[in-house]
Structure 1
Amino acid sequence: MGNGGRADALCRAAPERPPRPPGFDGIPASSNDNWLDDPEPGPAIELDCLRHILAPALLRAAEARGREVDTGADQVLIRSGVIGEEAYLQALSFQTDLAIETFAEVSRSDCPLPDRYLSSAAQHGLLPLRQRGKLVWIVAPRGFTARRLCRMVAAYPSLCDRILLASRRNLHQFLLRQEAGDVLGRTAANALPRRFPALSAAPVADDDTSRGLRTMRRLAQTALLSAVMTLTPTIVAPDIWSSVLALWFLAFIGLRLAASLMPPRPVRRPPRIPDHGLPVYTVIAALYREASSVASLLKAIEALDYPREKLDVIIVIELDDLETRAALARLGPMPHVQVLLAPAEGPRTKPKALNCALPFARGSFTAVFDAEDCPEPGQLRAALDAFRTQGADVACAQASLCIENQSDSWLSRMFAAEYAGQFDVFLPGLASFGVPLPLGGSSNHFRTAVLREVGGWDAYNVTEDADLGFRLARFGYRSTTFASTTLEEAPARFGGWLRQRSRWMKGWMQTWSVHMRRPRQLWKDAGAKGFLTLNAIIGGNVLTALTFPVLVIDMAWRSLEGAGGGGFSAVTPLHLTTIAAGFASTIVVGLMGLARRGQLRQGWILALTPIYWACLSIAAWRALYQLLSEPYRWEKTEHGLSSQIRSAAASQTLERDEETCGAVFRPHSALKY
């Protein structure tokens, strides 16, 4: 849609603002860029600078829309694409005599702000600088800032020397470059280890001379742990060890079944929040080598049922990812989307990239999506409903993830059944127990203030989602699920599946080892339920995958001994019961999930559960080796490989090319000069 189309849409009559709905108080006032409880009254004087530039009807429509959504009329025009932010600031500067700062000749030494406060400057769009011997303030207008500046300058003209305007893009580029960027990069990588070292998987600081010893120690630990897991059950007190492993296995299965058999909670549908009552909502996506997926992701975000004026979209990409940067550039201007380049400091992981975006998040709530995600249009509003109805101690709401390319291979079909059971059956039941949730890596919705309070994501944990779910619980917060679905792509080939599942297993090992460093403190922080859930779910997931072949081999060996006349061991029935219960629970939970999604006809794939478990064991042992040899390596999952998704992408590309060609060859008589 061109500027003319946006202007026409904006000029439609804006409805009167309805009263706030019941339950509105469940959404707290913002600590960022929301003005829910304190809107700026009076006329939209921030539009005075545009009186001779844009049509009066367009300005009136912008003012009406600003009242409707409780934001400045200038932001309505900018977010609608009617006028660019740079162009608006030029007009505002001419009207108010406030100069514009481009940061072309500004260095980090010109900013007196200590390093630890640079993230606050990004959060609030306000930066002090020392220029020509005096302190000035750089302001990137948002919300009602422009209106307030106009009133302030009119009342106190002398302030013109102390306030400079800047675009959000220029301010953020300054904060992410050179020394300032290094500071924010170090903060993204090390904020959690610095604030809460016992809750991070970050390595202990040491010098270069000890790296060789550390590597040798890791290899020795790998060999030792492997021996403990494989040889101890068969050499040292075999019946006792085998029984312990089997009982732990059964505890995991029992909790999984108990949660899955919980009846679904009734869904409360509170009154729809009008646009003026909605908070600013930040959406973050960390991308790396996702040139083929970024257009579909932004199309899905564009389809969200949320006013653009209150949607803050942040795309984080790596410095060397030229393909994704080019793909974003080809999409054209996106006034409600900001693209950040993650500094090179620290490990190259998704959680570090998310931490890079966190200081720039303007919303009271933050959602995380992956490159291949396609969330339902109403997901943000559904998440807000969950926060409103579940209580102020709910810090995270998890949507369901659903595999859209399940017909690509038996692995993707199995993945789809696994996700159906996990997100539609198991996690909702687990949430009803009031225990910590092992969150999924996408479609998580957080209270931004709480996310900052607990230290953000752990840049050194390769399953930052599961870790964060337990860290929130240790700070006294709850996580919940809600009824909304996000479509995702599953790896369809074994190589891609193995790399992804090994990373997950490695991250679960990191999460378990971090939170079990001080078991007594974990019990004190998260309570008995949190302690047992960590060991049964996170520890149980890893342990079942590692010990499955051990139990099978041990049971087969004992059975052969018994058949040879040596007598059957007393633990053989326990092993047989454990393995059978594991298969049965996987099949039951998967069938329940498929049934709730109306896909029960795909349930035949669960007959391959034994083969799938063998694959999980391979991934777990690979993860164990990686944990001790390269713990922070992020094995990226390739997206856009599905035949269904490639077909859809080709169709979208064809439509886009046809539209472009039509614009180029359109007869000149149809153009309006």
Structure 2
Amino acid sequence: MSAATSLMQALLAPGSTPQDAYYALDQAFAAQVDPLHWCAVHLGVSDAEIMRRVADWAGLSFLDAVPRIDRLDLAPARLESLAEVRIYRTRLPGRDVLFAAPDFYGVLRLRAAQASRPHLSRILCLVPATAFRTFIVDQAGQALLDGARQTMARRWPRAAAQLDLTRWARWTFAIMLMAVTGLLLVAPLWGWEWFAPIWLALVVVPALLRLAALCSPPDPELAPVVPPTDDSDLPIYSVLVPLRDEASMVGQLHAALAKIDYPPEKLEVMFVVEAVSASTIAAVKRHLVDARFSLVVVPDAAPRTKPKALAFALPLCRGEFLVVYDAEDRPEPDQLRRVIDQFRRDPDLACIQARLVIDNGGAIALPSLFAGEYAGLFAVLLPALARWGFVMPLGGTSNHFRTDVLRELGGWDAFNVTEDADLGVRLARRGLRCGTSVSATYETAPTTFSPWLGQRTRWMKGWMQTYAVHNRHSGALVRDLGLRGWAMFQVVLLGMILAPLLHAGFLLVLFVHLLRGEAALPMAELWPIACLFVLVTGHACAVATNLVGLHRTGQRHLWLWQVLLPAYWLLIAFATLRAMREFVRRPFHWFKSPHSAGIPEGRPLLQAPPRKRTGLSHERAI
């Protein structure tokens, strides 16, 4: 019996035969994954138990974790190389020790080396792969933090929030934004007819963009069955889940991600948790028996933002593709397979945005309007922007990336509080295309005003950050995007910021006319008619976008709620004013949106149908 077969037999259940070992090896080889990891996921045991069996077979020492030693502050030239480190030499009292977390082939090489170097048995100690990574992350924590905070600035020295959002720049942007808004609002009151063409261009074009998106053909609906793909042809997929103070959500989140229909040996799910969230870390650890899941603890350091946590974990990812999910997300189980199929059919795509669907609307107004807004954005507007090849501000979750492209861009801007929209701009500036998928990720919207306001304030502030950062050097932006792309960037980003303020302002203008006793709008009065036209056109296009989006997401029961959209926009205008204040005073503050556990009524966790595994068959169960 070969050493490989002997090792595999030792890893399997007691009573297994060489035939079982041959079969397991063939399956692991066909999947092109480490046989140790294949055993962990298919036997349903932890990687610690697998490494313990390896140590018994090899006659080596074993520890559950690397003992805490003095911090050495590892700083590799390439942070990505940390994911490849398998052995670490240190000195404990009285002797040198080699702590190792070898893969299957590394174990065989160590076993062969023992014959010529017997002293290896005395200095070598095996540890689980996840425990070894925890040790390496601890030793290289400062380097990873520096990379998370500085890599983007190094790659984009003239377009990074950390460098470009100086106090002077923030005040200048805020004053200019208020000046433009004020100019657009006072022009009707002061009767500046000469300003009417400019005014109409600035306030009507965003509405026309929605109208054009409505006329754009929708994305093709999902096929009933995912195109068949041999599991051996699927790449490793990394799933990053940033968490802070989410202990109550971990159970639901684990259940949702465990239902993902993807070869378990090729699925790498990392819970990226802030070190200050002790209860969340404890909750995650209870679910780490499943070898698909692992924990990365992010040291407590400024800025305390989601993109910093993601950028900290990015060098540790092994996947060819990567997706980000949030604490409340429930992706459709076949989403990864469908996205892989889309990436392969269109090799030029660098990123695919899955459709986000709010599933707790219907009972009260706020989540119902939120659901309509999401439906209009993810089912109508973003697909149109992707089809036209313009800048596409990504949503905060369910972004699927080619990992090498993401690293080449510099990852996420740790100082931008809407890192998703910012990343969409950077992709466009590099000439990289984004696409959309109709595969859905279900989310729960805030049901009360306070968390909604905090979240929306952060979003508006982040869009201001993104707009200001990329316009600081407008010449470079025009060169990167082209004139048409630059113009669309102004319309999309500036429109998202200005639209709520102008909506509230135009209502005020009409109200002033009514107070003056000018209830009628004679044809000679240009400005009242223009304001009324903008309000009617803007709301009609927005409502129509929401209605079409809700139709595409199968939520027609929320149509009637959309008549309240004008009131909803007033709330957004209030959030925009708060965002402007925060933009000046606390530009990098991250409002943590609270989430509540529990699946909304009427939307159970989806279960993928059993998928027939490809590869070799075997009569006996392992």
- Place the TM-score, normalised by the shorter chain, in its bin: 0.7 to 0.9
Alignment of 1:431-510 (within 5 A): 431-510=386-465
- Paired with 2:450 and 2:129, the residues of 1 have a C-alpha distance of 42
What is the letter of the counterpart of residue 249 of structure 1? V
Please report how far the alpha carbon of residue 121 of structure 1 lies from its aligned counterpart in structure 2 after TM superposition.
3.4
Question: Does structure 2 conserve the Cα–Cα contact (< 8 Å) formed by 1:505 and 1:620?
Answer: yes
Deviations along 1:53-74, one digit per CA (max 9) or x if unpaired, are 5622654553343244232332
- Paired with 1:220 and 1:486, the residues of 2 have a C-alpha distance of 39
Distance of aligned partners of 1:395 and 1:138 in 2 relative to their CA distance in 1, 3 Å threshold: farther
Question: Does structure 2 conserve the Cα–Cα contact (< 8 Å) formed by 1:219 and 1:629?
Answer: no
1:103 aligns with 2:66: yes
Distance of aligned partners of 1:241 and 1:504 in 2 relative to their CA distance in 1, 3 Å threshold: farther
Distance of aligned partners of 1:408 and 1:326 in 2 relative to their CA distance in 1, 3 Å threshold: farther
- 5+ residue gaps, structure 2, are 606-622
1:17 paired residue number: none
Point out the more displaced range, 632-641 or 442-451: 632-641
- Paired with 1:525 and 1:220, the residues of 2 have a C-alpha distance of 24
1:290 paired residue number: 246
2:502 paired residue number: 547
Aligned length: 593
Please report how far the alpha carbon of residue 463 of structure 1 lies from its aligned counterpart in structure 2 after TM superposition.
0.7
Question: Does structure 1 conserve the Cα–Cα contact (< 8 Å) formed by 2:355 and 2:440?
Answer: yes
1:321 paired residue number: 277
1:256 paired residue number: 210
- Paired with 2:601 and 2:279, the residues of 1 have a C-alpha distance of 19
2:291 paired residue number: 335
Alignment of 1:232-381 (within 5 A): 233-234=185-186, 238-239=192-193, 244-266=198-220, 271-331=227-287, 333-381=289-337
1:230 aligns with 2:188: no
Distance of aligned partners of 1:42 and 1:477 in 2 relative to their CA distance in 1, 3 Å threshold: farther
1:537 aligns with 2:492: yes
Alignment of 1:420-439 (within 5 A): 420-439=375-394
- Paired with 1:159 and 1:290, the residues of 2 have a C-alpha distance of 49
Deviations along 1:279-303, one digit per CA (max 9) or x if unpaired, are 1111111111212211111111111
Three-state SS of the structure 2 residue aligned to 1:289 is coil
Question: Does structure 2 conserve the Cα–Cα contact (< 8 Å) formed by 1:46 and 1:73?
Answer: no
- Paired with 2:4 and 2:136, the residues of 1 have a C-alpha distance of 34
Deviations along 1:505-547, one digit per CA (max 9) or x if unpaired, are 1111111111111112112112234312221111111111222
- Aligned with 1:572 (options 528, 535, 539): 528
Question: Does structure 2 conserve the Cα–Cα contact (< 8 Å) formed by 1:376 and 1:485?
Answer: yes
Distance of aligned partners of 1:146 and 1:418 in 2 relative to their CA distance in 1, 3 Å threshold: same
RMSD: 3.5
Question: Does structure 2 conserve the Cα–Cα contact (< 8 Å) formed by 1:402 and 1:485?
Answer: yes
1:583 paired residue number: 539
- Paired with 1:413 and 1:564, the residues of 2 have a C-alpha distance of 33
- 5+ residue gaps, structure 1, are 1-40, 207-213, 650-673
What is the letter of the counterpart of residue 67 of structure 2? A
- Paired with 2:525 and 2:276, the residues of 1 have a C-alpha distance of 59
Three-state SS of the structure 1 residue aligned to 2:282 is helix
Point out the more displaced range, 420-429 or 310-319: 420-429
Question: Does structure 2 conserve the Cα–Cα contact (< 8 Å) formed by 1:437 and 1:479?
Answer: yes
Please report how far the alpha carbon of residue 419 of structure 1 lies from its aligned counterpart in structure 2 after TM superposition.
1.3
Please report how far the alpha carbon of residue 116 of structure 1 lies from its aligned counterpart in structure 2 after TM superposition.
3.7
Please report how far the alpha carbon of residue 329 of structure 1 lies from its aligned counterpart in structure 2 after TM superposition.
3.7
Please report how far the alpha carbon of residue 553 of structure 1 lies from its aligned counterpart in structure 2 after TM superposition.
2.4
Please report how far the alpha carbon of residue 370 of structure 1 lies from its aligned counterpart in structure 2 after TM superposition.
0.8
1:63 aligns with 2:25: yes
Three-state SS of the structure 2 residue aligned to 1:442 is coil
Distance of aligned partners of 1:474 and 1:157 in 2 relative to their CA distance in 1, 3 Å threshold: farther
Point out the more displaced range, 591-600 or 286-295: 591-600
Three-state SS of the structure 1 residue aligned to 2:518 is helix
- Paired with 2:594 and 2:391, the residues of 1 have a C-alpha distance of 30
Distance of aligned partners of 1:515 and 1:645 in 2 relative to their CA distance in 1, 3 Å threshold: farther
What is the letter of the counterpart of residue 591 of structure 2? E
Which of 1 and 2 has higher RCO (CA within 8 Å, sep 6+)?
2
- Paired with 2:375 and 2:284, the residues of 1 have a C-alpha distance of 32
Please report how far the alpha carbon of residue 444 of structure 1 lies from its aligned counterpart in structure 2 after TM superposition.
0.9
1:664 paired residue number: none
Question: Does structure 1 conserve the Cα–Cα contact (< 8 Å) formed by 2:367 and 2:447?
Answer: yes
- Paired with 1:525 and 1:291, the residues of 2 have a C-alpha distance of 43
- Aligned with 1:74 (options 20, 36, 56): 36
- Paired with 2:287 and 2:90, the residues of 1 have a C-alpha distance of 38
Point out the more displaced range, 589-598 or 610-619: 589-598
- Paired with 1:205 and 1:580, the residues of 2 have a C-alpha distance of 36
> How does the TM-score come out when normalised to structure 2?
0.86
1:201 aligns with 2:161: yes
Distance of aligned partners of 1:494 and 1:90 in 2 relative to their CA distance in 1, 3 Å threshold: closer
- Aligned with 2:148 (options 178, 188, 192): 188
- Paired with 1:505 and 1:205, the residues of 2 have a C-alpha distance of 15
What is the letter of the counterpart of residue 148 of structure 2? A
2:609 paired residue number: none
Distance of aligned partners of 1:239 and 1:62 in 2 relative to their CA distance in 1, 3 Å threshold: farther
Question: Does structure 1 conserve the Cα–Cα contact (< 8 Å) formed by 2:460 and 2:497?
Answer: yes
What is the letter of the counterpart of residue 346 of structure 2? Q
Please report how far the alpha carbon of residue 623 of structure 1 lies from its aligned counterpart in structure 2 after TM superposition.
0.8
What is the letter of the counterpart of residue 89 of structure 1? M
- Paired with 2:384 and 2:576, the residues of 1 have a C-alpha distance of 26
- Paired with 1:490 and 1:482, the residues of 2 have a C-alpha distance of 21
Distance of aligned partners of 1:245 and 1:99 in 2 relative to their CA distance in 1, 3 Å threshold: farther
Identical columns (%): 34
Please report how far the alpha carbon of residue 317 of structure 1 lies from its aligned counterpart in structure 2 after TM superposition.
1.2
Please report how far the alpha carbon of residue 326 of structure 1 lies from its aligned counterpart in structure 2 after TM superposition.
3.0
